[in-house]
């Protein structure tokens, strides 16, 4: 039977973070007949849940497979594959509002029973979701995230232009993320303070245009445009991402694809995904992060080795490969 795919495109109305990037990149590479079902306008959180549960199912054509790529899907649709990126609402509910955590846990328990397939992005996430949702092995599929254009090494001219655009005057370490507790900015700032470095700057580029600084040592960035990220990654001394918990860690892969040495955590999915391509640290210890940044500055051989290994890792993990494997899951339930 020929696969015809309906895509739950509620993600199209949200700002681009890792989950939304995944949904956009995979969906545009799927080769089967497909159509997108999205709200006409941004619905808000409660409105989005109501649309997903009550309006979306009525728009699926008879017999088509539904793919919900962004951690949520309609409970009434059985012929569905749902991508759940990590199990953080179970493992660390304290990081979320109580209402969001409770709703998401309930929703995932229902989807785990009713959906035909669950996709996740690492073996770490698969094991945690199996534990919390009692999923059988045959129902949950691990497909790693990927990377692709525009995340590639940028020209010196492009890097220079973007640095000038954001007022970057010194060599810099870069963090890109959000203010979520799991991103561990407090410990990163402690590490930077311990480093007490006058020759470099620390840039913490946040979602929704927020950028955070410490004692004037990080320049204020009012907004980082998505189109400027590759040059920021390419120009950094190292990308520093000491997150406490990730199902994959997509910003690390994007930084690697742009030729940045990466410093990241030795917990959750990071060792599985990045292995020796990154300098792994204990995210709970600011002195570990400080030491890693100092090593990058002092050891050119280490920095160059990490660049080469990171670029190799990025070549191994492409969105094209991820899309082929994802489509195979849909064909298996069609």
Q: Which tens digits make up the pLDDT trace of 16-69?
A: 788 999 999 999 999 999 999 999 988 888 898 999 999 999 999 988 999 999
Whole-number Å distance between alpha carbons of 118 and 287: 39
**Average model confidence (pLDDT) for the chain?**
92
Cα distances (angstroms) measured from residue 30 to each of 19, 325, 327, 330: 17, 10, 7, 10
Whole-number Å distance between alpha carbons of 311 and 299: 19
Strands of the sheet containing 80-83, edge to edge, are: 33-37, 4-8, 65-68, 80-83, 117-120, 140-142
Is the predicted pLDDT of residue 212 greater than 80, yes or no? no
pLDDT reported for residue 216: 38
Per-residue confidence at 301, pLDDT binned at 50, 70, 90?
very high
Mean pLDDT of 146-156: 97
* Structural domains for the chain: 4-146+319-333 (3.40.50.2000), 156-316 (3.40.50.2000)
Structure confidence by residue, pLDDT tens digits, 152-165: 999 999 999 999 99
CB neighbourhood size of 308 (10 A): 13
Is the predicted pLDDT of residue 231 greater than 70, yes or no? yes
Whole-number Å distance between alpha carbons of 267 and 317: 20
Q: Which of 32-36, 83-87, 147-151, 179-183 is predicted with the least confidence, judged by mean pLDDT? A: 179-183
Is the predicted pLDDT of residue 83 greater than 70, yes or no? yes
Phi, psi of 284, deg, nearest 5: -85, -10
Whole-number Å distance between alpha carbons of 221 and 131: 41
Is the predicted pLDDT of residue 217 greater than 60, yes or no? no
pTM of the model: 0.93
Cis peptide before 169 (omega within 30 of 0): no
CB burial of residue 56 (10 Å; 0-12, 13-18, 19+)? buried
């Amino acid at each position: 039977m020929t696969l015809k795919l309906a895509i739950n495109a509620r993600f199209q109305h949200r700002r681009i973070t890792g989950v939304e990037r995944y949904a956009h990149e995979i969906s545009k590479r799927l080769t089967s007949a497909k159509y997108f079902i999205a709200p006409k306008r941004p619905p808000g959180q409660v409105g989005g849940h109501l649309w997903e549960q009550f309006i979306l199912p009525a728009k699926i054509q008879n017999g088509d497979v539904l793919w919900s790529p962004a951690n949520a899907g309609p409970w009434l649709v059985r012929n569905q594959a749902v991508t759940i990126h990590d199990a953080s609402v179970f493992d660390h509910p304290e990081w979320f509002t109580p209402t969001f955590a409770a709703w998401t846990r309930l929703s995932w328990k229902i989807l785990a029973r009713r959906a035909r397939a669950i996709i996740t992005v690492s073996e770490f996430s698969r094991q945690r979701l199996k534990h919390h949702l009692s999923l059988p092995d045959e129902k949950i599929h691990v497909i790693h995230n990927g990377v692709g254009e525009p995340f590639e090494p940028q020209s010196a001219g492009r890097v220079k232009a973007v640095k000038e655009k954001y007022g970057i005057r010194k060599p810099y370490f870069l963090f890109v993320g959000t203010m979520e507790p799991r991103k561990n900015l407090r410990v990163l700032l402690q590490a930077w303070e311990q480093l007490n470095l006058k020759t470099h700057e620390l840039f913490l580029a946040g979602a929704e245009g927020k950028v955070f600084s410490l004692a004037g040592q990080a320049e204020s960035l009012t907004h980082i445009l998505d189109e400027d990220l590759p040059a920021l990654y390419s120009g950094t001394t190292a990308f520093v991402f000491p997150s406490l918990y990730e199902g994959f860690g997509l910003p690390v892969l994007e930084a690697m694809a742009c030729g940045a040495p990466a410093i990241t955590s030795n917990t959750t999915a990071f060792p599985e995904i990045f292995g020796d391509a990154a300098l792994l640290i204990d995210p709970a210890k600011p002195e570990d992060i400080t030491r890693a940044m100092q090593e990058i500055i002092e050891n050119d051989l280490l920095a160059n080795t990490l660049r080469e290994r990171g670029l190799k890792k990025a070549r191994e993990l492409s969105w094209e490969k991820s899309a082929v494997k994802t489509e195979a899951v849909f064909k298996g339930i069609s």
